[in-house]
Amino acid sequence: MVRRSDNRKDASGARTWIKQLHYAVPGSLIPPDMPPADPPEHRLLLAAGLLIVFPQSDWFIDLTAVIGFPFWLSYLGWIALDLLIVATLFVSVRMFQRARRFVLLTLSVDALLAVLYWAFYVAEVIDRPVFVPINSALALASLAIISWAMWERVDHSPDLFRQAAPLLVAIFFSFAAGGVGFAVQCANGACPHRTSAEQIPDVGLNFFEIAAQVIAALLIALAVEARSVARAGVRRGQGEQALLAVSVLTFAVGAGAALTALATQRDDLPLAFELSVQAIALGFAAIFTLTLAERDQRPTRDWTTRAWR
């Protein structure tokens, strides 16, 4: 019989990463969470990177479909990728029980999405007016789960969760972009019959031209914000540093997607639309959050004593 280990050395991280991930699998015997050994600030950059990747996992379905994999194999791979992202979010800081909980929640939503995708794209037993509201509701459920997961990941720290909020805003807009685009098309009488699992609305190349310019402007604004903080002598926390790093990476990927669409003269490239929208949403939200954080951290002057505090 496998027993939980109480060995201090074993609890401090002697397990390999693969063995740690095993504990997040439903049905496995897991050790208790150990947040004191790994504070919520630990590996926030990894957590932020996983959050920004999470909404783009649908590309796996399209990729495997192009290769020629059967439907069930493509969707099993997609679900496994989502579960891996969520599990790693917690296993990386040895929050095993929370990993198990959120793996199960993500699995339930992804299973419902897989059934919905099968009914619409493969079996074609439901039409778009039925598909859109159900898909939107499940996307919101997925966003709620990942938001709750991040709240647990930062161990209920309001300051750290505030730094993760721009990433959640970017996820929301990435989820909503395709649905809103299709709704506008359908309202104009140009509703497509079927598309791939990754919804790519007909936005035109003008969108990508504007997106590339906006992302470049946001990158400059973020650089100015970071520079002003450095001059003021305010030290960024680990949450803000992770947000800055992931924002710059997301800008680069989003701008690259937009420029690739312009270079190829194609507005239906996989991920190009979602990555561009995600970069723009993250940029505005990150600058707003970092500006508020800087204002809170700047020293203020007490005019009754004329002293800085």
Q: What is the pLDDT of residues 216-229, one digit of tens each?
A: 999 888 888 777 66
Same domain, 91 and 105: yes
Residues 59 and 25 in one domain: yes
Would you state the pLDDT for residue 75? Answer: 86
**121 and 27 assigned to the same domain:** yes
Question: Given this model, what pLDDT does residue 224 score?
Answer: 82
Q: Does residue 243 share a domain with residue 110?
A: no
For residue 7, tell me if it sits in a domain. Answer: no
Q: Strands 301-302 and 307-308, how do they pair?
A: antiparallel
Q: What pLDDT is stored for residue 3 in this prediction? A: 40
Of the chain, the percentage scoring pLDDT greater than 90 comes to 23
**Residues 45 and 70 grouped into a single domain:** yes
Q: What is the DSSP string of 226-276?
A: HHHHHHHTPPPPHHHHHHHHHHHHHHHHHHHHHHHHHHHT-S--TTHHHHH
Mean per-residue pLDDT of the chain: 77
Are residues 135 and 244 both part of a single domain?
Answer: no
Q: What pLDDT is stored for residue 136 in this prediction?
A: 85
How confident is the model at residue 31, as a pLDDT? 55
Range of the domain at 256: 158-188+203-294
Residue range 142-176, pLDDT digits in tens: 999 999 999 999 888 888 898 889 999 999 998 88
How many Cα atoms sit within 13 Å of 42 on the Cβ side?
Answer: 15
Number of domains in the chain: 2
Residues 222 and 234 in one domain: yes
- The predicted structure's pLDDT at residue 193: 58
Phi-psi region of 109 (alpha: psi -120 to 50; beta: other; left: phi over 0): alpha
Q: Are 171 and 116 part of one and the same domain?
A: no
As a whole number, mean pLDDT of residues 263-276 equals: 83
Q: What is the pLDDT of residue 165?
A: 92
Mean pLDDT of 283-306: 68
Residue with the larger pLDDT of the pair 272 and 203: 272
Residue 30 is predicted with a pLDDT of 54
pLDDT at 168: 92
Nearest to 56 by CA among 281, 285, 273: 273
Confirm whether 308 is domain-assigned: no
Residues 272 and 211 sit within 8 Å (Cβ to Cβ): no
Residues 22 and 146 in one domain: yes
Q: 214 vs 44, which has greater pLDDT?
A: 214
Q: How far apart are CA 215 and CA 197, in angstroms?
A: 26
Residues 56 and 120 placed together within one structural domain of the fold: yes
For 28-63, what is each residue's pLDDT tens digit? 555 555 544 456 667 788 888 888 888 877 777 777
pLDDT for res 275? 87
